[in-house]
Each structure stands twice: as C-alpha cells, then as structure tokens.
Amino acid sequence: MHLETIILVSRTPEEVWSYLSDYSNVPQWDRGVESVRHNPATAPGVGFEFSTFGIADKKGAGPERGKMSYRVSKADPVEGATVELTNSDGNARYFKRAEWRFKVDPAPEGAWITCAAHFTLRFRYIFLAPVFSMMKGAIQRDLESLKRVLESV
C-alpha cells in the first residue's frame, strides 16, 4: 500500500528539515506517539535507530504495545528522509515491511512537506487493508499538527 499527503508550512525548508531531523520532536506532532527512545550507539543520520511508543490505552495496555522501531536509511535535506520499520511486535506486528518517507521542498510561501507511507501487511492481517487504506486522513491530521507546531515556534 502507498499513502501520501502533502502540506504547506510557513517556514523555510531548512527550519523544517532541522525540526524533522530531530526525532525527539515526534511526540509534539504525531498524536499516536507518547515518547521516543533512541539507540545511543548510533549517531543521527543514516543508520540512526529509534523507537516510538504509543499512548497507554484505557484497557491498561501500556506504551510498549504501541512500540514501533525504526532505522533511518536515507537522510538528505534535498532528497528527503526514509525511516524503515525494524521490529515485528507491538503495533508493528501488522506489517511485513513498512517505511515512511519525508521530503521538504521549497515554496514561495515556505516549504512543502510530503509524507508517504509504503507498507505491506502480513498475510494474516490482509483483511485490515481497507482500514489501513483510510489512514491517509490520519497522516494528514498529523501533518496539520506538525504545521501548527512549526508555525508556532
């Protein structure tokens, strides 16, 4: 599956890239992420590894259930960034393969941010494909949140 959305932000591409490159900022704009932890053995850039943790639910499932671990496979201010899913437990259990791509392009009014999710569901979860295809709206809401955060700085 491929889901893609784009938003215009009233900030320079350099400001946007700087903010997006700091993965500790993710909880400020991704409504499903409560915290981020990274592997201290890896430096920011290609090869950097980090995990996001979801918000505990009302049934008592803790943030570990919402864990998603990633490795940065591309990090270039012009070409964009790609983060690949590396775990298969928690919320990652649905995916055989998944990656998220971010690109920042200049615009007369600021910068365009493109976010694209590319993923393949595990066979036993293929019945969830229609649900995941509706996630484009969720990605758009997260980008709108990112826009609000960036423009309020």
Mean pLDDT across the chain, nearest whole number?
90
Number of domains in the chain: 1
CATH number of the domain that residue 56 is part of: 3.30.530.20
pLDDT at 139 > cutoff 80: yes
pLDDT at 134 > cutoff 80: no
Q: Which domain holds residue 19?
A: 2-152
* Residues 16-58: tens digit of each pLDDT: 999 999 999 999 999 889 999 997 888 889 999 999 998 765 5
* Residues 71-103: tens digit of each pLDDT: 999 999 999 999 999 999 888 899 999 999 999
Instruction: List 80's β-bridge partners, or say none.
Output: 76
Full strand arrangement of the beta sheet holding 68-76: 2-9, 110-121, 95-107, 80-85, 68-76, 49-53, 35-38
pLDDT of residue 39: 79
What residues have CB less than 8 Å from 29, skipping those under 6 apart?
A: 142, 145, 146, 148, 149
pLDDT of residue 127: 92
pLDDT of residue 100: 95
